[in-house]
Structure 1
Amino acid sequence: MSNPQSAPKVDEVLDVAIIGAGWYGLKVASIYVQLEPATKLALFDRDNTVGGTWSRDRIYPNLVAQVEYGYFNYPSTPMPKDGATNHNLVTGDMIFKYLDKFAGDTGVKRHIRFNSWVSDVQRCPRGWRFTVNGNRVFESAKLIVAVGVTSIRNSPTFEIKEDAVPVIHSIDIARNVPNFSVEGNEHFLVIGAAKSAYDVVYLLTKMGKKITWVIRPNGSGPMPIMPAEVLGKNTITMGSNRFTSYLSPSLMTTDSALGSFFHRTSIGRWFTRQYWRFISSRADQAAGFGGNAGSVEGLRPDVRDSSCFWCDSSVGLITMDDFWSTLKKADINIIRDNVETADSSGATLRSGQKVDANYIIYCTGWGDHFSFFSPEMKKELGIPPYGAAVPSKTSATSSKVDEWYFHDRAADDVVAKRLPLLAAGPKDLRKPDPNRVVTKRRWRLYNRCVPLATARENDRSLVILGQIHTTQTPTISEVQSLWAVAYLLGEVDLPSEHKMIEEVAQWNAWVRKRYLGVGERYPYALFDWIAYLDRLLGDLGVETQRKASMLADFFSPYGPHCYTSVVDEYKAVRSNGIREKAAARRMDAKSVDSSSSGGPE
């Protein structure tokens, strides 16, 4: 029995607490208060503005989304066009202003507690207890975690001497841009091959700086950079229709007639390969790889067999017309090595090479955005530990076999049987490289947002949003948030525990085969998001075919404009008895809780 005196003083009690005020946090808050206006709700964000990745202090001059205007906004809220680039792409400044106005117009902003660092999230009788800024304790009946992967800087993997030159993470690029122009800051060392590395290198070359770009030799390497347009169409938009989604082998589409053709017939797989070889060849051609790339030949992806299909280290899009020409003319030296030490003159590489530099910028990933959960709580909730997590044991004869071992093996067999192209893998990786190091994580969240530990107990007090990476973040955030709120309110039925385990295992098996290195780390669905939204909308009883005709549904682009009315459509479904059904479910749950705890006699 716990000591009452040891219980912390609670400063405030909430109905719903939301951690994060980016795309997902803002949208889920607005939907929750639309469906349940009397809810006492608060959002907690460590920054002083909304936006997360797109917050005001993180916007640097050439930060541009890789999606064209009209395809990077909430479905229910259009974005003003002022500020779009020549290729009709959305800039970082546009996104921040849009999210800030959305928060104000919807009334969400008054619920946000800015400059609020959340820690020590744990269960309590009321639901969830957490600490803010180390000294204020909150309790909430329900908790929505909406923190993005790119919210926390990671620690450098190299030693930094006391007298070292400035060393910053990519999250701090915007804050440091004025310092880049200070006299004497002429040589910059950039570490890593994430999109932010490409952005900062382009920025520095436009400023006339000398750059040494270090990319580790044993990782996934440089990412493919697709041209902004193919055949006169935005590359991302061109791939955002049902037809081309079938050209991305997925368990979500393979059982349909068209999916079966493209995934399980030799002619269909040939067509799929040719499509992606064409896209990848255009990317190589834009960069000049294979003879005309000059000093940037070192940025050619390690996986050259249809690099834009496999996305081994993710994929990018040219956001500036002069991107490749600017890099080719610049003073850039690309080195495949690891940084060992940063000192007063620059850095020393693992090979022993010395690199003179006035500034070091590392773009090597992100910190633990779930650090407010203890390791034990992460394991319970199906959140992988930060860093290179250990996957399920590979030997059933081990003295302690991971509980997921057999589920993962069965899922691997399903992917191999139903998606032969993925089972074969890229030619470049068919011979294992013993030096290749890939971080492996396994996310155990049903539908990418519900922990199995809470689902099996019918504990509808927690959802985790945003743990799926696509090209359509705002659209995904609206539909996923709607599904999540309906789930929290008891208005969505879940399948059996066996079916949920099967879904989670098969998603993990698929994503690590489909997206290789980056799929081992995160739940990617870059070209597969339409089918994912179909699943969520189907659960809600909302129409999944969002176009007027079958022809348009297959060949015209999907985007925010296709999901404009989904919240209103769900409200109509909800008015037909779902609320009463959910209320009955909650009463049944309370009755079970009462009887299991003894209850009053």
Structure 2
Amino acid sequence: MTSAPRMPLFAGQDEFGGRILHQKDYGRVISEGVASHLKIAVLGAGKSAADIVYGLARAGNEVHWIIRKSGTGPGAFANPAENAKGPFLNDPGLAATRLFATLSPSCFNAPNCLFWCTGPFGMVQRPDFWDTIAKNVHVHRHDIKPLADHVVVLQDGPSLPVDIIVRPWLPHTVSDSANEKKWAGLEEAADMKVLSRFPRLAHAPATKQNRLTTNTTPNRLYNNIAPLSDPSIAFAGNVYAPNGFRVAEVQTIWTTALFDGLVKLPSLDAMRKEIAWVNAFMKRRYPTHGAGGNHLQYDMMGYIDRLLGEVGLKSHFTGLVVEAMDVSHDRGGSGKCYGGV
């Protein structure tokens, strides 16, 4: 689901003549020593695109960063660790506290104040990131029309001579299944429950649709890990969260317990309703990126508590003030934070 590259198709691609690479090829290209003094176009506006643009610019290439005008725009990138304030090494560290989580409603928690998230999010680790981009990268807010011989033609924009195109990611289309009608009914009912509990979610800010919203079905995995029809497989890591390490740790605990038969799963009907509830909430809460049902930008702590609760664990933190003051600067000894590990 997440390891196979999904590459776009461009009109005129056969005539381009240059290289079209996925982000997974970036390290190999750098190691080959060919990524210097070239004209390179990078497509996309998320964290992986930002990292690649920075690296290519620092290596002395002429970089064109192309962000689709018809898309959702660039990501919100938090300050690098060097600019962090207070006891937290970085902004995602603050976001990964229960104190921060209480400032926002969650499909896993009781209702609270409402905020919106309408684009990708990430943390830039280099303090000179923005200066490097400003001085060395050409940023284009246009869609791509056809490709020509070593040329990228932008809609309502210039034609860019390039040697290499790098595409960080692209959603893919899936076929309808026989269960779509049943799921549609469940998700419609869940959406009504979401709006009843969180009425303000009915009035989302104006956004442009992400391709994922219209071209794919949501994840239909219990806890975004376990498929309903096959107990022999699990999909850990298939979520978007501000702290991937913390989520991965807890998902590993839950998945191991699942395969060991230590997780008492709800009935199949209850799991379907829970999946529909989470998917409906995510779609409303994150208008451009929540349709997959696995966007945890403001819901990470509630999700972690859900997984830990289902395996009989709980945080050793006893309250909001204690957790806010006791800040972990790395993952060493983090298992001590959870009772029973």
TM tier, smaller: 0.7 to 0.9
Q: Which of 207, 212, 216 is residue 439 of structure 1 equivalent to?
A: 212
- TM-score of the superposition, structure 2-length normalised? 0.85
Q: Which of 422, 427, 438 is residue 201 of structure 2 equivalent to?
A: 422
Q: Which of 308, 311, 321 is residue 551 of structure 1 equivalent to?
A: 321
- TM-score of the superposition, structure 1-length normalised? 0.50
Contact 1:347 1:357 in 2 (8 A): yes
Higher relative contact order (CA 8 A, sep 6+): 2
How far apart in 2 are the matches of 1:412 and 1:438?
21
SS in 2 for 1:507: helix
Contact 2:315 2:338 in 1 (8 A): no
- Residue 469 (1) aligns with residue 240 (2): yes
- Residue 153 (1) aligns with residue 5 (2): yes
How far apart in 2 are the matches of 1:244 and 1:389?
39
Name 1:180's counterpart in structure 2.
35
* Mean Cα deviation higher: 556-565 or 525-534: 556-565
The sequence identity of aligned pairs, in percent, is 26
Name 2:169's counterpart in structure 1.
364
Query: What are the residue-to-residue correspondences of 1:514-525 with 2, within 5 Å?
Result: 514-521=285-292, 523-525=294-296
How far apart in 2 are the matches of 1:521 and 1:199?
24
Q: Which of 336, 342, 345 is residue 150 of structure 2 equivalent to?
A: 345
How far apart in 2 are the matches of 1:465 and 1:414?
28
Name 2:47's counterpart in structure 1.
195
Cα offset for 1:420? 3.2
Q: Which of 485, 489, 498 is residue 269 of structure 2 equivalent to?
A: 498
Which structure has the greater CA radius of gyration?
Answer: 1
Q: Which of 3, 11, 19 is residue 166 of structure 1 equivalent to?
A: 19
Name 1:448's counterpart in structure 2.
224
SS in 2 for 1:536: helix
How far apart in 2 are the matches of 1:401 and 1:362?
31
- In the superposition, relative to structure 1, how do residues 524 and 423 fare at CA in structure 2: closer, same or farther (>3 Å)? same
Q: How many residues align?
A: 330
- In the superposition, relative to structure 1, how do residues 567 and 462 fare at CA in structure 2: closer, same or farther (>3 Å)? farther
How far apart in 1 are the matches of 2:19 and 2:29?
10
SS in 2 for 1:360: strand
Name 1:387's counterpart in structure 2.
173
How far apart in 1 are the matches of 2:210 and 2:264?
40
How far apart in 2 are the matches of 1:437 and 1:156?
15
- In the superposition, relative to structure 1, how do residues 153 and 486 fare at CA in structure 2: closer, same or farther (>3 Å)? same
Contact 1:190 1:362 in 2 (8 A): yes
SS in 2 for 1:545: coil
Name 2:68's counterpart in structure 1.
216
- In the superposition, relative to structure 1, how do residues 210 and 478 fare at CA in structure 2: closer, same or farther (>3 Å)? closer
How far apart in 2 are the matches of 1:463 and 1:335?
38
Contact 1:225 1:316 in 2 (8 A): yes
How far apart in 2 are the matches of 1:390 and 1:217?
29
How far apart in 2 are the matches of 1:550 and 1:503?
27
Q: Which of 509, 516, 522 is residue 280 of structure 2 equivalent to?
A: 509
Structure 1, unpaired ranges of 5+: 1-147, 255-259, 264-268, 274-308, 367-385, 393-399, 455-459, 571-601
Kindly provide the amino acid, as one letter, of the partner of residue 219 in structure 2.
W
- In the superposition, relative to structure 1, how do residues 331 and 452 fare at CA in structure 2: closer, same or farther (>3 Å)? closer
Cα offset for 1:171? 1.3
Q: Which of 121, 124, 145 is residue 315 of structure 1 equivalent to?
A: 121
- Residue 541 (1) aligns with residue 317 (2): no
- In the superposition, relative to structure 1, how do residues 212 and 475 fare at CA in structure 2: closer, same or farther (>3 Å)? closer
Kindly provide the amino acid, as one letter, of the partner of residue 13 in structure 2.
I
Q: Which of 244, 264, 283 is residue 100 of structure 2 equivalent to?
A: 244
Kindly provide the amino acid, as one letter, of the partner of residue 141 in structure 2.
I
